[in-house]
Amino acid sequence: MSKLTALNAEAQAGLSIQERIPEEKWAAIAAQCGAVEVAEIMERIARLKPNSKPLKIGIVTLGMTFMRLSTAFPNY
């Protein structure tokens, strides 16, 4: 089990299947993620649509996405 999977399982502990992981738990997960976990997240995203073409996005969208990722994963 990867560290990311373990962190996710820990955050879900005690929640019913209908409940979402609270934002503060996501923040705690993000604080514990490093380069390996960020790479795993990116890999999981890529597998969501294995037959789709790469997204064509503008530099502004790319910059905004980078800013969000770097805020969410400050240890990366």
In angstroms, rounded to a whole number, what is the distance separating the alpha carbons of residues 44 and 39? 9
Task: Name the domain count of the chain.
Answer: 1
Distances, alpha carbon 70 to alpha carbons 49, 53, 73, in Å: 24, 25, 5
In angstroms, rounded to a whole number, what is the distance separating the alpha carbons of residues 7 and 41? 13
Give residue 52's domain range: 3-72
Contact 61, 28 (CB under 8 A): no
Question: Does 5 or 59 have the greater pLDDT score?
Answer: 5
pLDDT-derived band at 6 (thresholds 50, 70, 90) equals: very high
Q: What is the pLDDT of residues 16-64, one digit of tens each?
A: 988 999 989 988 888 898 888 888 888 888 777 666 665 566 666 666 6
Q: Look up residue 2 and give its two tokens.
A: 């990867």
